[in-house]
Amino acid sequence: MRYVFFTVIIVLLQLFSLGAALSLQWWLQPWMSSTLQTIVWITVFVITNGLLLLSVSKLLANSYRWVSGWLLVLHFMMLAALATWLLYGSYLLIMFLSDIPNYSETLAFGLRVLALIVFVGLFVYALYSAYVPVVRHRTININKLMQGQLRIAVASDLHLGRLFGSGAIDRLRHLVTRHQADMLLMPGDIMDDNTQAFMAYNMMENLVNLGAGLPYGIYATLGNHDLYGHEQSISSTLRDAGVQLLNDDVLRIEHQGQAIWLVGRFDNHKHQRVATTELLAQVNITEPVIMLDHRPSDITEHSKLPIDLQVSGHTHNGQVFPANFIVKAINRLGYGYEAIGQGHFVVSSGYGFWGIPFRLGSRSEIWLLTVQTAPSVAVQS
């Protein structure tokens, strides 16, 4: 499977390089000579395969960021050229129907200016979508009796590191405080592979303050990026910050004098993780059950179990278009909310990002879930 992944990445890089070289060739056409054309093609493919070789040989620190960043540049070049082509095609149709001459040197220059504006605009918008979160509200009506409402904030996939740190944690604290959340659930990928940046930039204090502002605190599970060789240091660091870790574990809390069960699973990168049925055997399933499971891959199975609410992340909703369509195709629920079977399921696109600080077709977000007894159940009681 790993070799298939790398093969797909290599093929994509070559295809994106081809598309970007053709886009650049069109953009530079008024000044294009055979020499410049050769330089454009060689430059694009040399950068692509040079970064690829440096990544494979591990000679470049954070090579995945450089490869991802270059892939994004190529992608945005093609998107800018495509958007310009579509607009020009619409213009040609109008001119044809109006029987008006449809081309001039001014138009050619204007199209290239437009392509540059679209290219820059994509970067600005994608950066904004990565760093400026939106709050998504949802009321969850469960078929069990509970006292009052429980307000749950969900922030998955923070990937705390050099590009997403103290400021992001403080922004999260401001959001959960403003929306009066009772607790914060973080279903995995809290750190960006290790705790180096977290400690270097002294994010501990920010995370402690975040938890202190919540009546019931913070509960979390570990995701795949938290298990890439630094599980122990990440776990101890989070516990030191006051985060309650639920790694194949259950916890009973009280809300307005009534029991609420929190169930947390390891990501399936942990091959020896406990089965969900074994965890549920430790809880009173007649009381509300809330599960944190990093990946949404077991939603179909979990929809048949007495789980009232499951929160997940991992998919990032593709992070960059058109990957969101791939996420949707390979998951029962790749993003968003759906009531399935016995339970309610929320898959977040994540509060942070992976690799590079850009999102297109997805958005940095937190969910604010108001959990309460379904009106029909309340009436029957």
Q: What is the pLDDT of residues 153-177, one digit of tens each?
A: 999 999 999 999 999 999 999 999 9
- Count CB atoms within 10 A of the CB of residue 134: 12
Closest CA to 165 of 200, 189, 140: 200
Read off the amino acid at residue 325.
Answer: F
What is the Cα–Cα distance from 240 to 208, expressed in whole angstroms?
Answer: 9
pTM score of the predicted model: 0.89
Q: Which helix (H) or strand (E) holds 166?
A: helix 166-178
The count of other CB atoms within 10 Å of the CB of residue 167 is 12
- Tokens linked to 154: 């969900």
Decide if pLDDT at 96 tops 70: no
pLDDT tens digit sequence for 326-369: 999 999 999 999 999 989 999 999 999 998 999 999 999 999 99
Residue whose entry in the numeric block shows the structure tokens 């298939």 = 4
Domains of the chain: 2-129 (no CATH), 135-380 (3.60.21.10)
The number of residues in the chain equals: 381
Q: What's the pLDDT score for residue 270?
A: 86
Neighbouring residues of 35: CB distance < 8 A, sequence distance ≥ 6:
none
Q: If we measure between CA atoms, which residue out of 240, 237, 264 comes closest to residue 183?
A: 264
| Nearest residue to 13 via CA among 57, 78, 61, 60 | 78
